Amino acid sequence: MAKDFLDELSKTAQSLTEKVSSVYESSKLRSKIAAEEHESVKLMAEIGKIVYARFAEGKEVDSEFQELCEGILGHKKAVDELKATAAGKKGLKICPACEKEIDKDAMFCPYCGTPVPNPEPAPEEEDFADDAEDEFAVEDACEVTETVEETEETEESAEEPAEDPEEKDEAACEPAEEAAESVFDTAEPSEEIIPD
């Protein structure tokens, strides 16, 4: 009976060993597949880098790559602007050579020694200031124009010949006559029948 138990135990152990070995082999194969796929992606990225480097150097690239390279360039510019903005908020600037953050007043990068001139004010701020000045200039011009127009109207009214005094008197009397008639109408006695 012990022999049967040992045989059964041996078969179970062998079956488990085969299963573990199968799982291990499958896992090993999956790992190799992933490694090969990773290497393939790396090589494709390297091809892309080579094509983009040619584009960045001004060399001709196929038209199907041109649009992709321009897209990459746009994204790189956006990243550079965002990095510069983030560095500026911390009182720093970005070295154009090594792209490390350095003190905003530094004339040379302490990491790579590249000369780093201080950035000029952003053109957007200057444009805004110019726009504001232009807006004030337009408002001033409008006020001057209105003042000139008012002055011209005053001068024109002063140059007009004086009205005939009799016409003025008649015009002034008309409202008074209308008011008098109105009062007279209301003051007329109503005809009532008074019993005898």
Mean pLDDT of the chain: 74
Q: Look at residues 82, 108, 85 and name the one whose alpha carbon lies nearest to residue 95.
A: 108
| CB distance 101 to 87 below 8 Å | yes
pLDDT of residue 183: 46
| Residue 103, beta-bridge partner list | 92
**How many percent of the chain have pLDDT more than 70?**
58
Which amino acid, 125? E
Of residues 116 and 155, the one with the higher pLDDT is: 116
Vertex 83 angle, CA 80 and 89, to 5°: 140
Of residues 20 and 70, the one with the higher pLDDT is: 70
Vertex 27 angle, CA 21 and 31, to 5°: 145
Could you tell me the pLDDT band of residue 96, with boundaries at 50, 70 and 90?
A: confident
| CB distance 96 to 114 below 8 Å | yes
Question: What does the pLDDT average to over 160-183?
Answer: 53
The conformation of residue 108, written as its DSSP 8-state character, comes to: B
pLDDT of residue 175: 55
Structure confidence by residue, pLDDT tens digits, 124-144:
544 444 554 555 555 555 564
Distance CA 154, CA 149 (A): 9
pLDDT of residue 190: 47
Distance CA 137, CA 155 (A): 27
pLDDT of residue 79: 92
Structure confidence by residue, pLDDT tens digits, 70-89:
999 999 999 999 998 999 89
| CB distance 86 to 77 below 8 Å | no
Question: What does the pLDDT average to over 40-69?
Answer: 91
Give every CB contact of residue 98 below 8 A, 6+ residues apart in sequence.
109, 111, 112, 114
Distance CA 56, CA 36 (A): 30
pLDDT of residue 134: 54
Vertex 78 angle, CA 53 and 112, to 5°: 60
pLDDT of residue 38: 94
